[in-house]
Amino acid sequence: MAVAEISSPSYTTKSGLLQSSQLSSLSTHLHNHRCCSFRPLPRTQYAKISCSVAPNQVQTPLPVQAEDPKGKPECYGVFCLTYDLKAEEETKSWKKLINVAVSGAAGMIANHLLFKLASGEVFGPDQPIALKLLGSQRSLQALEGVAMELEDSLFPLLREVSIGIDSYEVFQDAEWALLIGAKPRGPGMERAGLLDINGQIFAEQGKALNAVASRNVKVIVVGNPCNTNALICLKNAPNIPAKNFHALTRLDENRAKCQLALKAGVFYDKVSNVTIWGNHSTTQVPDFLNARINGLPVVEVIKDRKWLEEEFTEKVQKRGGVLIEKWGRSSAASTAVSIVDAIKSLVTPTPEGDWFSSGVYTTGNPYGIAEDIVFSMPCRSKGDGDYELVKDIKFDDYLWKRIAKSEAELLAEKKCVAHLTGEGIAVCDLPGDTMLPGEM
Amino acid sequence: MAVAEISSPSYTTKSGLLQSSQLSSLSTHLHNHRCCSFRPLPRTQYAKISCSVAPNQVQTPLPVQAEDPKGKPECYGVFCLTYDLKAEEETKSWKKLINVAVSGAAGMIANHLLFKLASGEVFGPDQPIALKLLGSQRSLQALEGVAMELEDSLFPLLREVSIGIDSYEVFQDAEWALLIGAKPRGPGMERAGLLDINGQIFAEQGKALNAVASRNVKVIVVGNPCNTNALICLKNAPNIPAKNFHALTRLDENRAKCQLALKAGVFYDKVSNVTIWGNHSTTQVPDFLNARINGLPVVEVIKDRKWLEEEFTEKVQKRGGVLIEKWGRSSAASTAVSIVDAIKSLVTPTPEGDWFSSGVYTTGNPYGIAEDIVFSMPCRSKGDGDYELVKDIKFDDYLWKRIAKSEAELLAEKKCVAHLTGEGIAVCDLPGDTMLPGEM
């Protein structure tokens, strides 16, 4: 076994890092330039970051780094050490370190997701990973706890963990941004209120991504209402391709597959081509018309059309709520699994003939869905992080009617957040106070 | 793609299943035969098991099972369907289905662990798995929630999920039993009280394993106090080799590696040969004498003996407590990771020259540690599920003194649970009320 060389010059000086003052002015600039109706937000406090590593007290001439870890202040614990991956025999064949930012990192969904990312399960066994955890002032202690547990897990691929509460610092050079953090709807809060509160978070995070993330960062918005949050986010990040933003509807797709399998009496791996159309809300449309079981159209296998139109759709929509009743809280583990599925679907080629669902920007869609919203549609990927919409899709009156309803809801949500997308004064006239999946 | 044949005759009739009446009499028999001082326990209520699958309503002649799922009552949801793995083109090369039982299955540690087991991360991508979840009457609803989330995750390898509250049903044919469930120490409860309450749980579960599990079941006890719980468990399962029982000290080993790495300024994958000796309590002994960094003895790399003897040991012992302060609850994700590590260490060959720690039965140990207790020691495995103790270990006075202290604690714990191991009347004279790692 070759003894690892850990060369001190490998400390990465982040020459591209914008200073706080620059960021503030950039933020102000963007604000003035794009979004005249933006409400001025209190700037999030700059990151308070802790690092448990002590100055190096090794007393033998081991080839270890000798610089003060303060040069890299956002690191955590053992991850404050810098490793020259190229110099280590075992890691020479690894890919370049990938930066993955996760918001809501102290929450339950992230708690499942982070350990999956760190284990290599998502990006593969030759992909070293840097995790950048975004939390809030309130969750900072818990965030340290998460970082400690990541340390104690000894994941070989996990080479950096940093924690912070300023998205402009945490999103620096991010190649993936998994935006989970959002406020849940409180008692008596209307959907319009939720749209506004969470929309502000995603407007701010869009600006941060625009300022500091990789120019080709892939963004998956999980925090609800995720479609409109994703729209707000991409509108505030004009320098990042709109196509790179996704709203997570993969959990709905997975649930739909499971329900179809249950009904048909087959294992769930026999169900394919399931699309979730539209909004991640109760107007979502699980598409049984194009779905297949053992390669056959679902409608030829499950001939109970009433079940498909009524019970199936309702089962998928209400699954989250049933789970909350049973489990006492929202799904976390299965949501994390579906985020992993969503990422894997973008970084591995889609199996021949199949597709996956993702809430993506509608502009240029072949289905005639309104432009300039984020709508869940069927996608295929070559595995390069990008995707194409699937063209050969059947529609019938039932499917169109349902899709139109979800489209109308998203267009109304869009008007309701106009102040956050730079499109003027918000007008909130939502078509009924629809619930999010899982809301009671 | 071959269309799967799911043949109805593949329903497994559990001819080996003991009826409740038989179990009760067997339990009574064991009680009389082995443990005259056993306190009679109220028999746990027989499993109340739910199954969300509806009678098969498929209306086309798809090759699906047609029997009423009631024939297999312990299943959950989509997992109530039976699949003939041999008949499916993709799964023909898979291994035989493995039965893994998990207690405390509605808790946080299990919530992380179950999804790792189901994903194939632990037993490999060609190992289909049946998960048997043991909960309590109180947690049964949450257990259903866990099963629902497992359904929604669409893990291809996960072929059966069953839930229940009777260990005699849930442990049926178990090849692995991961015993996580235990009561935490309540306010004002003495360690003796905790030993008794949890000891009764593990006596009962030992009897259940003895009655219904695979004759070569591997058991990992996680619920605290895990060493003595494991001893109680193996004493109540005389027909299962004592060598098959483990108490989890792998999280302590992982934490020790991380702290040594931090101190030496190296990445944690450079630290090897770390033993945790003794009890999973504050008397545990993280062994720096035999540990290595980059292949060199730790004591040659970190020459600060005072740090090694005092701070290092304390850091490892107190890590759980610090985490509770930060995170507001006990470690769950990293505990689950360490359980995965513990299983993998038994099913994959140990890397040349290295070893791992596990709390195992001391009888026949080469170190002179007292016989007939469960003590964490260095192990190596050929990857067949079995292990051998490592022979070439150095000791010095410091290490011996510390090991002797942990040994004394375990011998005292053993006397304190004599009524649960069939060795007479319990005498509780514990050497100081030591805390479990993580207790405040």
Question: How close, in Å, is residue B347 to chain A by CA atoms?
Answer: 18
| Residue A356 near residue A271, CB atoms below 8 Å | no
Q: What angle do CA A70, A75, A77 make, to 5 degrees?
A: 95
Contacts of B159 in chain A (CB under 8 A): 267
- The answer to whether A154 contacts B258, with C-beta atoms less than 8 Å apart, is yes
Model ipTM value? 0.84
Residue A213: C-alpha distances to residues A134, A174, A218, A340, A411 (Å):
14, 5, 10, 21, 29
Distance of CA A437 to the CA centre of its chain: 17
| B159 pLDDT above the threshold of 70 | yes
Distance of CA B195 to the CA centre of its chain: 18
Contacts of B148 in chain A (CB under 8 A): 319, 322-323, 326-327, 334
E-assigned strand segments in A274-330: 275-277, 285-287, 292-293, 296-297
- The answer to whether A323 contacts B295, with C-beta atoms less than 8 Å apart, is no
pLDDT score, position A89? 75
Confidence of residue B396 (pLDDT cuts 50, 70, 90): very high
Q: What percent of chain B has pLDDT over 90?
A: 70
Half-sphere exposure in the Cβ direction for A217 (13 Å, CA): 32
How many angstroms separate the CA atoms of B409 and B369, rounded?
A: 13
How many angstroms separate the CA atoms of B435 and B317, rounded?
A: 10
Q: What dihedral angle (degrees, nearest 10) is formed by the CA atoms of B157, B163, B166, B169?
A: -40
B183 burial level (CB within 10 Å; 0-12, 13-18, 19+): middle
- The answer to whether A145 contacts B326, with C-beta atoms less than 8 Å apart, is yes
pLDDT score, position A439? 56
**Minimal Cβ distance to A57: which of B154, B159, B263:** B263
Question: How close, in Å, is residue B371 to chain A by CA atoms?
Answer: 31
> Which is more confident, B193 or B102?
B102
**Minimal Cβ distance to A264: which of B64, B156, B294:** B64
Question: How close, in Å, is residue B266 to chain A by CA atoms?
Answer: 6
The three state secondary structure string of B227-250 is HHHHHHHHHCCCCCCHHHEEECCH
- The answer to whether A294 contacts B4, with C-beta atoms less than 8 Å apart, is yes
**Minimal Cβ distance to A301: which of B62, B142, B325:** B62
pLDDT score, position A78? 79
Amino acid letter, residue A236 = N
- The answer to whether A254 contacts B337, with C-beta atoms less than 8 Å apart, is no
**Minimal Cβ distance to B112: which of A112, A251, A294:** A112
Task: Report the helix count and the strand count for chain B, using DSSP H and E.
Answer: 13, 14
pLDDT, one tens digit per residue, over B234-249 is: 999 999 999 999 999 9
Question: How close, in Å, is residue A189 to chain B by CA atoms?
Answer: 27
pLDDT, one tens digit per residue, over B198-212 is: 999 999 999 999 999
Interface test with B, best of A267, A268, A292 (most B CBs within 10 A): A267
How many angstroms separate the CA atoms of A102 and A79, rounded?
A: 17
Contacts of A119 in chain B (CB under 8 A): 121, 337
pLDDT score, position A364? 95
- The answer to whether A145 contacts B6, with C-beta atoms less than 8 Å apart, is no
**pTM score over 0.90:** no
Contacts of B72 in chain A (CB under 8 A): none
The token pair that represents A49 in the structure block: 């970051």
Total residues found in chain B within this entry = 440
- The answer to whether B251 contacts A154, with C-beta atoms less than 8 Å apart, is no
Residue A134: C-alpha distances to residues A47, A72, A180, B311 (Å):
9, 17, 10, 31
pLDDT, one tens digit per residue, over B97-151 is: 999 999 999 999 999 999 999 999 999 999 999 999 999 999 999 999 999 999 9
pLDDT one digit per residue (tens) for chain A, 440 residues: 333 333 332 223 233 333 333 333 333 233 333 222 233 333 333 333 322 333 333 333 333 333 443 333 367 887 877 667 777 777 888 999 999 999 999 999 999 999 999 999 999 999 999 999 999 999 999 999 999 999 999 999 999 999 999 999 999 999 999 999 999 887 778 888 889 999 999 999 999 999 999 999 999 999 999 999 999 999 999 999 999 999 999 999 999 999 999 999 999 999 999 999 999 999 999 999 999 999 999 999 999 999 999 999 999 999 998 999 888 888 999 999 999 999 999 999 999 999 999 999 999 999 999 999 999 999 999 999 999 999 999 999 999 999 999 999 999 999 999 999 999 999 988 877 666 655 54
pLDDT score, position A42? 36
Please give the domain boundaries of chain B with CATH numbers for all domains.
250-421 (3.90.110.10)
Contacts of B119 in chain A (CB under 8 A): 121
List residues of B with catalytic annotation. Answer: 280
